[in-house]
A and B are shown apart, each in its own frame.
Chain A
């Protein structure tokens, strides 16, 4: 793990998971009128745990490239609808919109924290 990776900590992984989540929820929104489509979402806690496992499993050498944005199927789950519709579609647009906004906010937060860490490193390198 390089010094920059250490300084950034969990935030790049968190941002990558939230970006994946944005994509999955965008797919739900796109399929709001598709018969028999089942809405899905990513369980962040499970995704983060899996990302940790992947790192331990895959990185056997210091120079190996880590792939924190890879998700396993365990983290991807079907949403339980509050009011299922007759055509078998379980997308509830208001819930998906809220989830999308939530993921976007968390993505921005992870980005902001990464920015903070990077600017700290930069200051240290420059020595001012």
Chain B
């Protein structure tokens, strides 16, 4: 039945958005993190979503779900800060700051929260319609 499949689709969307919120929280927590080299420095993480198609039934008309395909790291250069007193500083006295942009993360968080809410509303509407269908009023 297609209405119950909506609950499955919405569940997948909620899961994907949760992963996204998780990476955003991790990025924001590491805004001020420094490291001794560019390789060790923290890089902003971002999930990449992909569409899930039903491999079993192969029905084209079905609604497509979503899943987290992979998590990529930002390739933006890490800022070098001259801080010779820092125990992590390299031989020249530099530390490498994480390349997280807090503004970007905050707007991404708003979008993720909005998408989460929309998926939740989708599920509750589908549930309501199922309930209405089950107790059809035929007095």
Question: Interface of A with B (CB < 8 Å)?
Answer: 19-20, 22-35, 37, 42, 69, 71, 73, 75-76, 93, 97, 100-101, 104, 107-108, 111, 114-115, 118-119, 122
Contacts and interface: CB of A to CB of B under 8 A. Distances in A.
A119 B114 CA distance: 42
B126 A26 contact: yes
Q: Nearest 7 CB-CB pairs, A to B?
A: A27-B63, A30-B13, A23-B63, A23-B2, A27-B64, A118-B138, A34-B49
Contacts of A111: 132-133, 136
B107 interface: no
A104 B6 CA distance: 12
A38 B24 CA distance: 26
Interface of B: 1-3, 5-6, 9-10, 12-13, 16, 20, 48-51, 60-66, 111, 114-115, 118-119, 121-122, 125-126, 129, 132-133, 136-139
Contacts of A24: 61-63
Contacts, number: 104
B49 A27 contact: no
17 contacts: A19-B129, A24-B62, A25-B63, A27-B9, A27-B63, A28-B63, A30-B64, A30-B119, A31-B64, A33-B16, A71-B61, A100-B125, A101-B125, A111-B136, A115-B136, A118-B136, A119-B139
